[in-house]
Amino acid sequence: MTSCSFSLHGIGVSGGIAIGKTRLVSHATLDVSQYSIAPEHVSAEQNRLDKAIIDVRRELQVLRQEMAATELADDIDAFIDVQETLLNDVSLTEDTKAYIAEHGCNAEWALVQKMDAWIALFGQIEDEYLRDRKFDVMQVVERIVKQLMGKAVDSLPETSSDPHTILIAHDLSPADLLQFKHRRFAAFVTDLGGATSHTAIVARSLGVPALVGMRMARQIVHEGETVIVDGDQNCIIVNPSRVVLAQYRALYQKQKARREALMSLVRRRSKTRDDVDISLTVNIEIPDDLSLALKVGAQGIGLFRTEFLYLNQKTLPDEHTQFLAYRRVVRGIKGKPVILRTLDLGYDKINAQVDMLARVMPNPALGLRAIRLCFAEPELFTIQLRAILRASAYGKLKIMIPMLSSVSEIEQTFDAINAVKKTLAEENIAFDRDIEIGAMIEVPAAALAITPFLKNFSFLSIGTNDLIQYMLAIDRADEAVAQLYDPVHPAMLKLLAHVIKSANRAKVPISMCGEMAGNPEMTRLLLGLGLRHFSMPASTLLAVKERVINTDISALKKLADRILRCTQPTKIQALIAEINSL
Ligand code: PEP
Ligand code: MG
């Protein structure tokens, strides 16, 4: 039987073409079905459970070995220790076996029923740490269920990685995705998410084609099917015909050749035809991302999203752990600047296991996020500031503060930094006393009332991902409103022009580190608006550089002004196409 070919459309968050076989990333406990087991088969069913538990133990050992040499080794070790303890707990096996016997049901069903009861019990525990172990229970059960169902398709750890695998998931948190950084696969597809959701950002940093907001892909596509992922046309083609496959193979080869050609730009100076230097830096999430930044010839790190160090953790990283991570980055970039953003933990970065910060959840995008969380948890902030300042003794480190919106927050920020500087000085600990402090402009209030930001900070960086979200009232993580998320909405362009112009006039360096900065289609428009510093995912840097090198800035101004005056979206698009064809 030949499988029928069909296509699904979503939101491309990382361009390019991939061809491979699907691997479904699942939450098996949701898929469990119930069936009866005859009394004479109960003990065989119980043995099936024992075997699955043994297999999971083995799987965890393999994972431990695989991750031993990586940055995540310590965290993974701690995580596996807890899971092994739970696997060894007699109540997991004995209670489940008793349930199988009592109800004459299959092992998967019994496990999930017991899991619900255990979770309820954990929920009543007062101690927060112990209460949180319910998430470990859920994960362990998930693993066993997968083994029982004969699909050791794992949401995270796999025993191998395959460069031809296309991962299909309903949704994954950025924390989950971080672990994929150590695996190789061809492309990534999720049902949920918008183009600038943090899951999408991490997916993009993996440098493979990625699509989000596919809605039903996880349900419709089957394990092991051939799929083409077209990150440029925002679609996947499942079971393509031979003709389509041949066409895409040709396109894939062309794309590969182009990528190789772009590599020739690595050593080229980033300046326009009319000799204007444009700085191109890279956004990173974890220190391991440095290698890609160096490979594409980045002029520094324009945004280090430090909150990713806090994900996948059972406890918050202490000062020393953070210090080592920051020092590794600042040393690794070989004298170039690193802009380290203080903790920006927010709703869509937090996975269920990190519910020590669960109170950021109710209306998370507008809630206790980023600097607000740091002010609410001063110890958290102090520990991070100490680690950053200590690392500043080892290179060119700058601090950047996210989500600021008012003068009082600016004052509070400087008070906190100065207090930490004072104690470090008293303790005779080395740090850069003149460390530059910058702010993200990502709340419309800061963008409009920008004067105090210009007065107080050494540099600014526009976070378009959030600025667009707040300006247009569109949740960046919600694919249901993704079509409204428009970086070139007339209001956005006016706001961007105002911010860039104000900063340039005040001679305060202004950069952009939102995803817009990494879109080569936007490069000329932004240059025309006066932007000279860009920070983006490493995977897009060379394409942006190519645009920069082929641009004459003096020719852009007139068209950029026309775009700014325009209120018709279709006209704006046409003018952007025109500016790109100059
Ligand atoms: C932004 O908001 O544009 C940004 C760069 O920060 P993040 O995407 O991490 O919120
Ligand atoms: Mg932001």
Give pLDDT tens digits for 459-477: 999 999 999 999 999 988 8
Q: What is the mean pLDDT of the chain?
A: 88
Q: Is the pLDDT of residue 154 over 50?
A: no
Tell me the CA–centroid distance for residue 572 and ligand 2, in Å: 25
Alpha helices in 163-241 (DSSP H): 174-180, 198-205, 217-220
pLDDT, position 156? 42
- Catalytic residue, candidates 198, 489, 533, 566: 198
Give 6-27+155-262's CATH code, choosing from 3.50.30.10, 3.40.640.10, 2.60.40.10, 3.40.50.10710.
3.50.30.10
For residue 129, what pLDDT is reported? 64
Minimum CA distance residue for ligand 1 atom 9: 305
pLDDT band at 276; cut points 50, 70, 90: very high
Domain boundaries, the chain: 6-27+155-262, 39-148, 264-580
Q: Tell whether the model's pLDDT for residue 353 goes beyond 80.
A: no
Burial of 428 (0-12, 13-18, 19+ CB in 10 A): exposed
Q: Compute the distance between CA of residue 107 and CA of residue 105 in angstroms, rounded to an integer.
A: 7
For residue 491, what are the CA distances in angstroms to 99, 329, 496, 565? 61, 37, 9, 10
Ligand nearest to the CA of 463: 1
Does residue 164 carry a catalytic annotation? no
Are 162 and 184 a contacting pair, CB within 8 Å? yes
pLDDT value, residue 179: 66
Point out the ligand nearest to the CA of residue 515. 1
Split at pLDDT 50, 70, 90, the class of 1 is: very low
* Coil, helix or strand at residue 351: coil
With a CB cutoff of 8 Å and minimum separation 6, the contacts of 550 are 273
Is 235 catalytic? The answer is: no
Ligand 2 center–CA 198 separation, angstroms:
9
- How sure is the predictor about 352, in pLDDT bands with cuts at 50, 70 and 90? very low
Question: Is 358 a residue whose pLDDT tops 50?
Answer: no
Residue 166 has what pLDDT? 92
Question: Which of 105, 374, 513, 566 does the annotation list as catalytic?
Answer: 513
Tell me the average pLDDT across 50-75: 81
Which amino acid would we find at residue 331?
Answer: R
Report the nearest atom of ligand 1 relative to the CA of 513.
5
Q: What are the tens digits of pLDDT across the range 485-496? A: 999 999 999 999
Choice between 226 and 347, residue whose per-residue pLDDT is larger? 226
pLDDT > 90: percent of the chain: 62
Q: Tell me what pLDDT residue 222 has.
A: 86
Four-way CATH pick for 39-148: 3.40.228.10, 1.10.274.10, 3.20.20.70, 2.60.40.1510: 1.10.274.10
Count CB atoms within 10 A of the CB of residue 562: 15
pLDDT higher than 60, residue 457:
yes
Could you tell me how many helices (H) and strands (E) the chain has, helices first?
Answer: 23, 16
Exposed, middle or buried, 469 (CB in 10 Å: 0-12/13-18/19+)?
A: buried
pLDDT given at position 566: 97
The better pLDDT of the pair 219, 294 is held by 294
Task: Give the integer Cα–Cα distance in Å for 509 and 229.
Answer: 39
| Nearest-atom index, ligand 1, CA of 461 | 5
Alpha-carbon separation of residue 471 from 360, 410, 454 (angstroms) = 21, 21, 21
Residue-wise pLDDT tens digits, 100-127: 999 999 998 898 888 877 877 776 776 6
Residues 6+ apart with CB under 8 A from 61: none
Cα 314 to ligand 2 centroid, rounded to whole Å: 24
From the CA of 462, give the closest atom in ligand 1: 3
Q: Using DSSP bridges, classify how beta strands 338-341 and 397-401 pair: parallel, antiparallel or unpaired.
A: parallel
CA-463 nearest atom, ligand 1: 3
Please check whether residue 123 is in contact with residue 131, taking contact to mean a CB–CB distance below 8 angstroms.
yes
- pLDDT above 60 (res 29): no
pLDDT at res. 355: 44
pLDDT of residue 223: 81
d(CA 57, CA 62) in angstroms, rounded, equals 9
Give me the mean pLDDT over the 306-328 stretch: 87
- The whole-angstrom separation of Cα 568 and Cα 131 is 54
Predicted confidence (pLDDT) at residue 559 exceeds the cutoff of 70: yes
CA distance 453 to 459: 9
Q: What is the model's pTM?
A: 0.78
Residues with CB under 6 A from ligand 1: 201, 303, 305, 344, 442, 463-466, 513-514
Query: Does domain 264-580 correspond to CATH entry 3.20.20.60?
Result: yes
CA of 63 to the centre of ligand 1 (A): 32
Residues 417-451 have pLDDT tens digits of: 999 999 999 999 999 999 999 999 999 999 999 99
Helix axes 538-549, 520-528, angle to 10 degrees: 50
pLDDT digits (tens, 9 = 90+) for 368-423: 889 998 999 899 999 999 999 999 999 999 999 999 999 999 999 999 999 999 99
